[in-house]
Structure 1
Amino acid sequence: INAITTNETYFFRHTKQFNYLHDVLFPSFIANQTNFPKKEVSIWSAASSTGEEPYSLGITCKHFFQNNPSWRFKLYASDINTDVIQQAKEGVYNERAVKYVPDSFKKKFFTQEILDQGGINQKKYKISSEIKKIVEFRQHNLLKRFPVDNINIIFIRNVMIYFDKQTKTKVFNNFFDVLAPKGYIFISLSESLSEFEPKIKSMGTAIYQKV
């Protein structure tokens, strides 16, 4: 399995989706606190690869909720590939992976290191322990039900496109089962979940909401 999974990714891929989280969704959660009696938001990066996506989510959450300290967030990250989970836990990245990280975030949430790789010095960026500790990584097969319920936001980007119809339906139903009422699914801009309407409705920018 580790040899055949796809792991191409970088921080803040599809930046508009992270902006939507920070500028639209999170404020709407705060404004509708009756839907969040525990003041807690749970997010699952369902194909987390080497960690760029869940750590981007962690940075986004940390930046927003620092102004709302009574709220908490839980961040789950999973992948079927144990090698990439280990890389994610180490949290060390090359310059290409962080090219879309805003400078202010780079200074606050990363430390720069120069590592000798085969006699060549390469600049690396290490994610801060502050962000690392808020992401819970685990191995998980998407064909099985995730062992956490009432998740508010699921990121599953650049994965469903590789599934046949039967597999895609099975995986979607597993997501739908653990998604909280009115929860959100984020996919990549090249994908669609339109065949699962009216269970979900499109919110634009490859974002769907549970109906």
Structure 2
Amino acid sequence: MHISVMGELDSKAEADRLLECIGENCGCEIHITFLDANIVTPEVVEKIIKLQENSKCKVFVLKSYLYSYFLSLGIKCFLVKKKSILNKRCEISEKLSSRSFEPEKVEEFLRDIYDKYGFDFTEYRKDSIIRRIKISMLRYCMTCFEEFRKLVLTDQDVFEQLFLDFSINTTNFFRDPEVFTFLKERVLLCLDSYSHIKIWCVGCSNGKEPYSLAIILKELGMLHKVQIYATDINPYVIEEAKNGLYSASTIDTDIVNYKKAGGTKAFTDYFDITGSYIKVKDEFKDNILFFQHSVIEKGILNEFQMILCRNVMIYFDIPLQRKVLRHFYNSLDVGGFLVMGKSEGMLLNGGYEYFVDYNEKNKVYRRKS
């Protein structure tokens, strides 16, 4: 039985229809081809895993993001490449010249991307942007920046891959555990007097940071009165976060980080452990609202008691860092907390106009009155 999935599975009805089709034909081997989807629901993932355990399902995907996601969860699948001259084997004999990436040309390219696709990277650090453009060009065996630029602006799939190259999604459960220890022992207890607490996780990636925070709040007996807003510019990674499914390959590191962060129970108590992946228990999803959002364009969301924006601003130019810090100032209650990344700070971007040190070692600041 062959099943082809057109487009993204954007609704529960569409996912249910796919599961219904699979169920109707579960007695035979099923071949499923995902033509345009970058992410699928957890129910679909778990159904495919069960079928593959019985050697009854082969999966084919056209999108590299979904391919990587499936592999991380233990799903065997085949990446089908589009027929294109860009997929031919090639050897790069010509080096990428730095002169091809003149700041004015790169700036114009980023403006064109904004006009065409609506994503604004114009105020990102140019050295980081250029490095990721080069990575994407080499993926397509291209050495001419102008040719690559034209391709990005005319081919949605090529832009999509460049967008993923621009999006940084490095994260872990309880990353920098000493920061979580400080939040648990000092900051969250300070906020416990509030009857309702709102927290914003900026650049939440695949959701491991907000879920880590929710686990700490659960242990403090505070989760019931907390709403966590978790945002990222990448819509696919947001859907991954909503699914709450993660590779079990990092579980030993996750356990160590959890203990270092002051965890009082067993890390695995908060997950369903199933072979090659772990699944966040549903009780933690109720208090987290995941959605796509660009802090650059949309700025203020709400009046929060704490904002976490860790290892995001290092990719911004200093003028943009100042703008974002002003947004955070306007989004926080008086005396609210801002938590930044270990390599980030206030000195070079005018942040002390809006914030004061609370704990410089862990990059925790408080909003000025």
- TM bucket (normalised to shorter chain) is 0.7 to 0.9
Q: Map residues 67-78 of structure 1 onto 2, 5 A cutoff.
A: 72-78=225-231
CA contact (8 A) 1:151 1:180 kept: yes
Amino acid at match of 1:61: L
CA contact (8 A) 1:149 1:180 kept: no
Q: How far apart in 2 are the matches of 1:55 and 1:193?
A: 27
Q: Does 1:5 align with 2:161?
A: no
Matched, 1:171 2:333: no
Unaligned runs of 5+ in 1: 115-122
- What is the TM-score normalised by the length of structure 2? 0.50
Cα shift at 1:51: 0.5
**More helix by percentage:** 2
More relative contact order, 1 or 2 (CA 8 Å, 6+ apart): 1
User: What is residue 189 of structure 2 aligned with on the other side?
Assistant: 27
Q: Provide the rounded CA distance (Å) in 2 between the counterparts of 1:65 and 1:18.
A: 16
Task: Write out per-residue CA displacement over residues 139-185 of structure 1, whole angstroms, 9 at most, x where no aligned residue.
Answer: 10111344532201111011111110111111111111111110111
Question: Per-residue CA shift, 1:91-133, capped at 9, x if unaligned?
Answer: 111232634234834232111112xxxxxxxx32111101122
1:117 corresponds in structure 2 to none
Count matched residues. 194
| Alpha-carbon distance change, 165 to 147 in structure 1, aligned in 2, over 3 angstroms | closer
1:107 to 258, 263, 268: 268
The CA distance in 2 between the partners of 1:179 and 1:148, in whole Å, is: 10
1:209 aligned to 2:366? yes
Which residue of structure 1 lines up, in the alignment, with residue 221 of structure 2? 65
Q: Structure 1 CA distance, aligned partners of 2:343 and 2:324?
A: 18
Distance of aligned partners of 1:83 and 1:3 in 2 relative to their CA distance in 1, 3 Å threshold: farther
Higher share of residues assigned strand: 1
Letter in 2 for 1:206: K
Distance 2:165 2:186 in 1: 38
Give, in angstroms, the shift of residue 29 of structure 1: 2.7
When normalised by structure 1's length, the TM-score is 0.84
One-letter amino acid matched to 2:356: K
Higher gyration radius (CA): 2
- Give the fraction of aligned pairs with identical amino acids, expressed as a percent: 27
Q: Which residue of 1 aligns with 2:312?
A: 159
Moved over 3 A (4+): 145-148
